[in-house]
Amino acid sequence: MKTHKVNSIDNSKLIVTGKGDDKVWEQAEVLTNFISPWDEKEIDKIEFRALYNSEYLFFCFKVYDNQVYVDSTDDTDNSINNSDRVELFFRSDKNLNPYYCLEIDPTPRIMDFIAKPSKQFDFNWKWPFKDINVKSSKESNYFIVEGSISLASLTKFNLLKEGKIETGIYRAKYNKQINGSYEPTWITWVNPETEQPNFHTPTSFGVLKLM
């Protein structure tokens, strides 16, 4: 499985502002090898960083895009699902039984749910509010989604095992069509080797390794 190293910042404080501007982020390894296996067009650059201390896993997406699309119809999951967003999936085992999904748009609205194989989604489930913090910012040519997740919650959900978290890292980019509608390009860290776009499969996951 693909592995991304997550460096320890001991008990240093990392202030989540939504701008990814804390100096501590300089200690993170930068993941940029994202692909869209189902689309021939070149994708814009994405930078993903992760760090951890004794309490939290920190993450930061910097997504280069000068035409960000957000469906502002309302604040329901449906609107988030129709918007540009970044995604983190965490699985408890290779059987995806269960796995946990965080889909976050640039505003940053969160669509969080628990899932089981064959795309059995429970949207009534939510990541405990006290265990997650997400902020964002947007500039003319990029947006940032930055957050923290408590290690206690990752442990509780059986996701953190021996310093490893099996994780899918994704992006959905919505492109305006000639008829005015928007269609997504699906972008992933790990190529799941599927004929059609599918993140909800065991082969789309890699490993975040806490160093």
Query: Could you give the domains of the chain?
Result: 3-210 (2.60.40.1190)
In sequence order, the 6+-apart residues with CB closer than 8 A to the CB of 136 are: 18, 104, 106, 107, 108, 143, 144, 145, 146
Quote the CA–CA distance of 10 and 5 in Å, as a whole number: 15
Q: Is 59 in contact with 50 (CB distance < 8 Å)?
A: yes
Q: Nearest 10 degrees: CA dihedral of 61, 62, 67, 69?
A: 20
CB 54 within 8 A of CB 148: no
pLDDT by residue, tens only, the chain of 211 residues: 999 999 999 877 899 999 999 999 999 999 999 999 998 888 999 999 999 999 999 999 999 999 999 888 887 888 898 889 999 999 999 999 999 999 999 999 999 999 999 899 999 999 999 999 999 999 999 999 999 999 999 999 999 999 999 999 999 999 888 887 788 899 999 999 999 999 999 999 999 999 9
pLDDT value of position 64: 97
Q: What is the pTM of this model?
A: 0.95
Structure tokens at 194: 């599927």
Query: What pLDDT shows up at residue 3?
Result: 97
Q: Could you give the CA distance from residue 130 to residue 121 in angstroms, rounded to a whole number?
A: 22
pLDDT at residue 23, as a whole number: 94
